Amino acid sequence: MNIVAIRSYGKKMALKKPYTIAYNTFSDVHIAFLEIELSNGIVGIGSGSPAEDVVGETTEQTLGNLESDFVAKLKGRDIREFQQIIYEATIEYAKYPGTLAAIDLALHDAFTKYIGISVAEFYGIKTPMLPTSYTIGIKSVAKTLEDAKEIKEAGFTVLKVKTGLNVEEDIERVVKLKETYGSYFTVRVDANQGYGLKETKQFLDATKKYELELMEQPVKVGEEKVLLELAAEERALLVGDESLKNPAAALKFAGNKTFGIYNIKLMKCGGLIGARQIATIAEQADIELFWGCNDESIISITAALHVAYTCPNTKYLDLDGSFDLAEDLVKGGFELKNGKMYINQQPGFGFDKL
C-alpha cells in the first residue's frame, strides 16, 4: 500500500487563557501538521509542536522541513516500510525532534489504520488507564486556590503546580493547597529549571510532610550533578525533563539515578520510536516514566497516551496540553472519566478530523 500524497500546513491556535512558567508566559501556540495519504484513501495525521527553549527548533523550522525534498520523496513508498522510513527520518532530522515527531506520528497513524488496529494494540497495552494531572501556572496563592476549585469541579484529582520564580512563595502555594483540599488532590510540582540545589532542598524539606508526589526539573540543564548531593530518597522524587531530550540522555542519567523518574515528551524525543527507546532504558534501570507534553493538538496528546500505555514502567500522566487550546483540528482520540484518560481502541490513534 503506497503513499500517494503528502500535505503539510501550520496553524496558530489561541489558548483559552495565558499561563506563566519559570521562564515564559504563553497566550497561543503554533502547531505544524502533516497528512500522509495512502492509495486506498486512508490518511494518517501527525503534528509537531516543539518548544524552542528546550530543543532549539521552532515551528517555522518544522514546517520548512516538512516541505523538504526528503518528505516529498516519501510519495510512492510502501507504508509497510514505515519503521524504515522513520529510521531514515531520524538521520535526516536528528536535530529537529518536532519535525521527526510529525513524520513519526503520521506514519504510525496511517500504518495502523491500514492494518485495522490501534497503535496501542500494535505495540501491546501493558499498563492500566491512569489519571492525568491538570496544570496550574505560576500565580498568587488566592488564584491558585481558585483554579484548584475549578479543577476539582471538573473531576480531576491530580494537580501539577508550576514553580521556580520564588521558592518561599512556591512553598506557601503548595502548603495552602494541601491545607485547603487535604488528601483530595495529589500534588506534583514543576520548577522548570528555576531552582539551585539550595532551593530544591529547601522546597523538599518544607513540603515533606505534605507527601508531595514528585518534582520536575528543579535545576538548569547542565547542572544536574549537584542533585547527587541529595539523598537517594529525595532524588527518587525528581523528574528529568528538559535534561532528558533523547535516549542518549536517558542512558547518561540512568547509571547514578540522577532522576528517579523520566519525563518523556514526543516533542523532545521525536515521536514514538524515540519514546520507546527511552522507556526501554528506563525500565532496565528501574526508573519510572512520566509522560508530559507542551501545548499540543489532540493528535500528539493521543499519540503520547497510546505509547504510554504500551510501557510497563509508566506511572504518571501529564497530558493536559490539548485542554488549553481554544480550538483544534481533530476530535476524539481519548475520553476523560474522572480525570482518567482512556483510549478508544479505534484504528490508528482513533481521532477524527473536524
Three-state helix/strand/coil letters over the chain: CEEEEEEEEEEEEEEEEEEEECCEEEEEEEEEEEEEEECCCCEEEEEECCCHHHHCCCHHHHHHHHCCHHHHCCCCCEHHHHHHHHHHHHHHCCCCHHHHHHHHHHHHHHHHHHHCCEHHHHHCCCCCCCEECEEECCCCHHHHHHHHHHHHHCCCCEEEEECCCCHHHHHHHHHHHHHHHCCCCEEEEECCCCCCHHHHHHHHHHHHHHCCCCEECCCCCCCHHHHHHCCHHHHCCEEECCCCCCHHHHHHHHCCCCCCEEEECHHHHCCHHHHHHHHHHHHHCCCEEEECCCCCCHHHHHHHHHHHCCCCCEEEECCCCCCCECCCCEEECEEEECCEEEECCCCECCEEEC
Q: What's the gap between Cα 170 and its chain centre?
A: 23
What mean pLDDT is predicted for residues 42-62?
Answer: 97
pLDDT of residue 345 exceeding 90 = no
**25 pLDDT higher than 80:** no
> How much is the pLDDT for 22?
65
Q: Is the confidence at residue 310, as pLDDT, over 90?
A: yes
Answer yes or no: is pLDDT of 304 > 80.
yes
Quick one: pLDDT at residue 174? 97
Q: Which residues pair with 220 in a beta bridge?
A: none
- Structure pTM? 0.95
- The half-sphere exposure of 227 on its side-chain side, counting CA atoms within 13 A, is 30
pLDDT tens for each residue of 210-247: 999 999 999 999 999 999 999 999 999 999 999 999 99
The pLDDT value recorded for residue 313 is 98
Structure-block grid coordinates of residue 41:
484513501
The pLDDT, as a whole number, for residue 192 is 95
Where residue 19 falls among pLDDT bands split at 50, 70, 90? low
| Sign of the torsion angle spanned by Cα atoms 79, 81, 84, 88 | negative
Among the listed residues 348, 311, 309, the one whose alpha carbon sits nearest the alpha carbon of residue 332: 348
Tell me: pLDDT of 42 over 70.
yes
pLDDT at 27: 81
How does pLDDT run across 125-135, given as a tens digit for each residue? 999 999 999 99
| Average pLDDT, integer, range 264-290 | 98
CATH of range 3-116; options 3.10.290.10, 3.30.110.30, 3.30.390.10, 1.20.140.10: 3.30.390.10
2, 66, 83, 88, 290 from 43: Cα distances, Å: 12, 16, 17, 21, 30
pLDDT of residue 324: 85
Residue 23 has pLDDT above 70, yes or no: no
Strands 134-136 and 158-162: parallel
pLDDT at 18: 75
Q: What are the sequence ranges of the domains in the chain?
A: 3-116, 121-353
What is the structure's pLDDT at 188?
98
* Fold for the domain defined by 121-353: TIM Barrel (3.20.20)
Q: Any idea which of 9-18, 194-203, 272-281 has the lowest mean pLDDT?
A: 9-18
Model pLDDT for residues 68-113, shown as the tens digit of each residue: 999 999 999 999 999 999 999 999 999 999 999 999 999 999 999 9
